[in-house]
Chains A and B, each alone.
Chain A
Amino acid sequence: MLEVNQLQVNYGAITALHDVSLRVEKGSIVTLIGGNGAGKTTTLRAISGMVKPKSGQILYEGRDITGVPSHKLVGQGIAHSPEGRMVFANLTVRENLQMGAYLQRDKAVIAREEEFVFATFPRLKEREQQLAGTLSGGEQQMLAIGRALMSQPKCLLLDEPSLGIAPLLVKLIFEKIVELNRTRGLTILLVEQNANLALEISQYGYVLETGRILLADDAAKLRADPKVRDAYLGG
């Protein structure tokens, strides 16, 4: 479904990604793990058109989407729940969700998707009219995911859903991610600091280090790999 070939991304004089290639099969959960500054977020940003790659190619359902601006990718079925959540703090929860369905003109479809998001995250329903800026970190993360779901994506790019969130909510959010993958067939490319948790729900994983793919293997094998355990899974 998604294929990245020899991607190179520069920020000014600094090369953030040297040569990243990866594949995400339809209906799977694939995770990128690695330390700070390894290039995980940059990879997602390049896929969703937030940064322009220097070279390399990104294929989505066989089409070349390299350098296509973000707002055009949403309509093709790629949604990105970004690092830092980036919910619209000055808008209500409901307005945030409606913005998630910005390209959808059919009100009935918007209402149906909204119902689906509220059923997935009932906490958001309770806070429907509240400004997103008043939500807790975990609730904002649910909203960021919910907003991404509103565009009815086929492929979800999910950046650090566990960052700065209470452990109980992390568990809930990861259960929902698995549920979305199983029931909706949603393809998910997950970036996560919490490598253990991420590999647990993924089928396949890539280990990034300083802008390069270090290892690529089945998630179960990565979890068993002594090198990975030492470096990323806390021994």
Chain B
Amino acid sequence: MTELLQQLINGLSLGAIYALIALGYTMVYGVLRFINFAHSDVFMVGAYIGFYLGPRLGAGTVWGGIATLAAAMAGSAVLGVVIEKLAYKPLRNRSNLTVLITAIGVSLFLQNAGQKILGANPRAFQFPVPGGGQQRLFPETQLHFRSLTISSNQVIVLAVSAVLLVALWWIVHRTRIGTAMRAMSFNATAASLVGINNDAVISFTFALGSALAGAGGVLYAMNYPSIDPLMGTLPGLKAFVAAVLGGIGNLPGAALGGMLIGLVETFVSGTRMSTYRDAIAFAILILILLFRPAGLLGKLRVEKV
């Protein structure tokens, strides 16, 4: 029982990170109908921004950790918008396949530029303590509930993810630009007919999705405390699977899919099949595409006449 609960918490905190990344895939798909494969590398850059700015922003304290997270989110948002303007916007009227291949190109560029500039070796996601020694981004303690042990880092991952999910929900459902995002994802032509500047909404969508990926990168690095320029690939692919699992283009679906992938992966890791924990997400992808291509919460669109 204890082990089950323990795994549940591990799975939820991993799933929350997948959910944050998956939301970016699904939002961009919603407005542009293509998969931004460079998204996983924005996640990586987010982690590096945290790594380099953390010491200046007071890593090791609660407020320092929050400031580092915010900086990583802001930096990632800028990167996402720049990628969109430079790589995708010039291809706006080309086929989706052209943009998709470009996205893979951007992804490879970021990975290789990262290896060249940041170095290919993994770095420990830790920060020097003034008096000597190393510390994590947030102060760390172990919380004990009966026989259950929870790291404060896991609580932080869950809390930050929850706050970001609620904030995202609020932006998408309660603000003017968020409503415009939903309007545009349904019908971009009609959106421009009411005065919505599609390009502005697309930029906003990239900023929002990339900020979430940046936060995901820092949270991921915090729990698996090492970073390298290729770290985005596997979590990125799994988050992509999560977005498809939930129903691509569907925001609650992406959050749900992320949680499910995180849980399944964690529970599989706890069994003798742990060797296959990375394979499981892709097995899920194949099954979903075979049996429910629209995803768990996705709907096939029916137009009323």
Q: How far is the CB of A159 from chain B (nearest CB, A)?
A: 11
* Option from A86, A98, A133 in Cβ contact (under 8 Å) with B190: A86
Q: How far is the CA of A148 from the CA of B190 in the complex (A)?
A: 10
Q: Tell me if B96 is interfacial: C-beta within 8 Å of chain A.
A: no
Chain A residues lying within 8 Å of B186, measured Cβ to Cβ, are 88-91
* CB <8 Å contact, B197 and A88: no
Query: Which of B179, B189, B195, B305 is within 8 Å of A74, CB to CB?
Result: B195
Is A99 within 8 A of B305, CB to CB? no
Bound CA–CA A90/B190 (angstroms): 13
The answer to the question of B180 belonging to the interface, with a C-beta cut-off of 8 Å to chain A, is: yes
Please give the distance in Å from A214's CB to the nearest CB on chain B.
Answer: 28
Q: A33 to B179: give the CA distance in the assembly, Å.
A: 36
B116 at the interface (CB under 8 A from A): no
A88-B183, A91-B183 are contacts. A103–B190 as well, Cβ < 8 Å?
no
Q: Is A209 an interface residue (CB 8 A)?
A: no
Contact A88 B182 (CB under 8 A): yes
Q: Enumerate chain A residues within 8 angstroms of B193, measured Cβ to Cβ.
A: 48, 50, 70-71, 74, 79-80, 82, 86
B117 interfacial contact with A, CB 8 Å: no
Mask of A45-79 contacts with B, CB within 8 angstroms, 1/0: 00010100000000000000000011100110001
With an 8 A cutoff between CB atoms, is A87 at the interface?
yes
Chain B hits for A89, CB < 8 A: 186, 303-304
CB of A140 within 8 A of chain B?
yes
Chain A CB within 8 A of B7 CB: no
Inter-chain residue pair count (beta carbon < 8 A):
75
- A151 touches B (CB below 8 Å): yes
Q: A134-175: contact bitstring with B at CB < 8 Å (1 yes, 0 no)?
A: 011100100000011011000000000000100000000000
- Contact status B187-A99, CB under 8 Å: no
A151 to B195, CA, bound (A): 9
Q: In the assembly, what is the distance between CA of A148 and CA of B193, in Å?
A: 9
A39, CB-defined interface residue at 8 Å? no
**Are B183 and A99 neighbours in the complex by a CB distance under 8 Å?**
yes
Please indicate the chain A residues that have their CB under 8 angstroms from the CB of B192 in the complex: 50, 69-71
B189 touches A99 (CB 8 A): no
Minimal beta-carbon separation of B48 from chain A (angstroms):
37
Report the Cα distance A225→B8, complex, angstroms: 79
Measured CB to CB, the closest approach of chain A to B250, in angstroms, equals 10
Q: How far is the CA of A98 from the CA of B179 in the complex (A)?
A: 9
Asked if B195 and A164 make an inter-chain contact with CB atoms under 8 angstroms apart, the answer reads no
Q: Are A75 and B187 in contact (CB under 8 A)?
A: no
Q: Is A95 an interface residue (CB 8 A)?
A: yes
Chain B residues lying within 8 Å of A136, measured Cβ to Cβ, are 304
Tell me which of B182, B189, B196 contacts A86 (CB under 8 A). B189
B86 at the interface (CB under 8 A from A): no
Task: Bin chain A's interface residue count.
Answer: 20 to 34
- How far is it, in angstroms, between the C-alpha of A137 and the C-alpha of B303 when the chains are bound? 10
Which residues of chain B are within 8 angstroms of A100 by Cβ–Cβ distance? 194
Is B94 an interface residue when CB atoms closer than 8 A count as contact?
Answer: no
In B165-200, the 8 Å CB interface with A consists of: 176, 179-180, 182-183, 185-187, 189-198
Q: Does A11 contact B (CB under 8 A)?
A: no
Q: Is A116 among interface residues, defined by CB-CB distance under 8 A?
A: no
Contact partner, B196, options A79, A91, A99, Cβ 8 Å: A99
CB–CB B195/A103 < 8 A: yes
With A90-B182, A91-B179, A91-B183 as known contacts, state yes or no: A75 contacts B190, CB within 8 Å.
Answer: no
Residues of B contacting A95 with CB < 8 Å? 179, 182-183
Q: Which residues of B contact A147 (CB under 8 A)?
A: 194
Bound complex: CA A74 to CA B180 (Å)? 15
Contact with A along B220-239 (1 / 0, CB 8 A): 00000000000000000000
Apart from A50-B189, A102-B176: 17 A-B pairs, beta carbons within 8 A: A50-B193, A69-B192, A70-B193, A71-B196, A71-B198, A74-B194, A80-B193, A86-B189, A86-B193, A88-B183, A88-B187, A88-B190, A95-B182, A98-B176, A102-B195, A137-B305, A150-B194
Interface pairs A-B: 10 shortest CB-CB: A74-B195, A86-B190, A70-B192, A103-B195, A71-B192, A102-B195, A88-B183, A90-B186, A71-B197, A88-B186
Q: A interface vs B, CB < 8 Å?
A: 48, 50, 69-71, 74-75, 79-80, 82, 86-91, 95-96, 98-100, 102-103, 133, 135-137, 140, 147-148, 150-151, 164
Binding site for A on B (CB under 8 A): 176, 179-180, 182-183, 185-187, 189-198, 303-305
18 CB-based A-B contacts, threshold 8 Å = A50-B192, A50-B193, A71-B195, A74-B194, A79-B193, A86-B190, A88-B183, A88-B191, A89-B304, A95-B183, A96-B183, A98-B179, A99-B196, A100-B194, A102-B180, A102-B196, A137-B305, A150-B194
